[in-house]
Amino acid sequence: GAVVSQHPSWVICKSGTSVKIECRSLDFQATTMFWYRQFPKQSLMLMATSNEGSKATYEQGVEKDKFLINHASLTLSTLTVTSAHPEDSSFYICSARAFEVGTYNEQFFGPGTRLTVL
Amino acid sequence: ELKVEQNPLFLSMQEGKNYTIYCNYSTTSDRLYWYRQDPGKSLESLFVLLSNGAVKQEGRLMASLDTKARLSTLHITAAVHDLSATYFCAVDISMDSNYQLIWGAGTKLIIKP
């Protein structure tokens, strides 16, 4: 149980275009989903916390107009990188918080999306 | 300042040896998580430690939590090549509805045959 999927797993796009990444909890309802960014050989950097039906809470320094997050249902959150530029290239990982599996605040992670902006 | 420090950051060791990775944190917490990340992959949950004195074991890995010392350890017994990965600890400092995890920098473990 507690499986999180992400789509796509890898995307290459041109500078100036927008890219949407989907994160789904497959076998549980996730009231809270998280979006992280990871640069090579570094730890995870939390970008935003997404609660179903409400606006996402962004971490300091993360542009909310640049990284649009929508959490429309209990199983789906999306991250849209708008007008992507090469500096947005990174590994984006989503996770979901699963109360139902009884492990309190444990997060289950999606497989990640590697974004390369040319 | 809220800090989670992992030590060491990089470790190369021979198969068959034992070693311990340390995770020190600077604030009160009684919940800590260990994750594994393989190159180019996402994070896999290894252990959830929910109270002082918690000890969990899975195969050659054993994790423990000492909330008084603000220390968690991940012990590797008789290491094998398959355990090569980066290991992260994350400290849960959530209070009420304010949910927050603080991540360690990660320990890159390379196990040589």
pLDDT in tens, A24-80: 999 888 878 999 999 988 899 999 998 877 889 999 999 999 999 998 888 999 999
Tally DSSP H helices, then E strands, for chain A. 0, 11
Give the model's pLDDT for residue A12. 93
CA distance A15 to B44: 32
Token couple for A12: 């290459």
pLDDT at B96 over 80: no
Give the model's pLDDT for residue A103. 52
A108 contacts in chain B (CB < 8 Å): 45
A106 contacts in chain B (CB < 8 Å): 33, 45, 48
Give the model's pLDDT for residue A99. 61
Please indicate if any CB of chain B lies within 8 Å of the CB of A3. no
Say which residue, A41 or B25, is predicted with more confidence.
B25
Q: Name the average pLDDT for chain B.
A: 92
Contact A114 B31 (CB under 8 A): no
Cα torsion B85, B86, B87, B92 to 10°: value is -140
pLDDT in tens, B49-91: 988 889 999 999 999 999 999 999 999 999 999 999 999 999 9
From chain A residues 85-104, the ones with a CB under 8 A of any chain B CB are: 93, 95, 97, 103-104
Q: Name the average pLDDT for chain A.
A: 89
Q: What is the count of residue pairs from A and B with beta carbons less than 8 Å apart?
A: 47
